[in-house]
Amino acid sequence: MTTTHKFGFLITALILSISVAACGGGAAPSNPGKPEDGAKAVMDALFSGKDITPLLCSAVQSQASSMKDSFSKLAGAGATVDTSGLTYTASDVSGDTAKVTVGGNMKITVSGTSKDVPFPSVPMPMKNENGWKVCK
């Protein structure tokens, strides 16, 4: 598979996986923190291969394995993703719910070649369940 094909596969898989993550995923710090913290925690975990189950609200924890499977294909392509260029903007904060829009840029490296890739603005519904978690 050429590097161009790997980047194409990676971008397609990222967008599909983030769409799934927007329907479930988030963070569970001992201090509830801010909705943005929960969204950042799940994005960091998704792209670093960490277990996201504790970061999901109870309503969507069953989706954790399908999200992990999607991202394991990226790792199999030899890709690494730097999420430090992503931005997190909270809105519609009301009680234990909020929306966090994730946008910005990611640096994707495949076979030693890096590219900055714009990340489409994705709204992530959040719920505070002992910490802000992405939910539906």
From the number of C-beta atoms within 10 Å of its C-beta (0-12, 13-18, 19+), residue 21 rates as buried
CA distance 133 to 130: 9
Domain boundaries, the chain: 3-134
CATH number of 3-134: 3.10.450
Chunked into runs of 10 residues, the chain (136 residues) has average pLDDT values of 45 47 42 85 85 88 78 70 93 94 92 90 93 89
Yes or no: say if 13 and 76 are a contact pair by the CB < 8 Å rule.
no
pTM of the entire structure? 0.73
For 68-115, the DSSP string reads HHHHHHHHHTTEEEE-TTEEEEEEEEETTEEEEEEEEEEEEEETTEEE
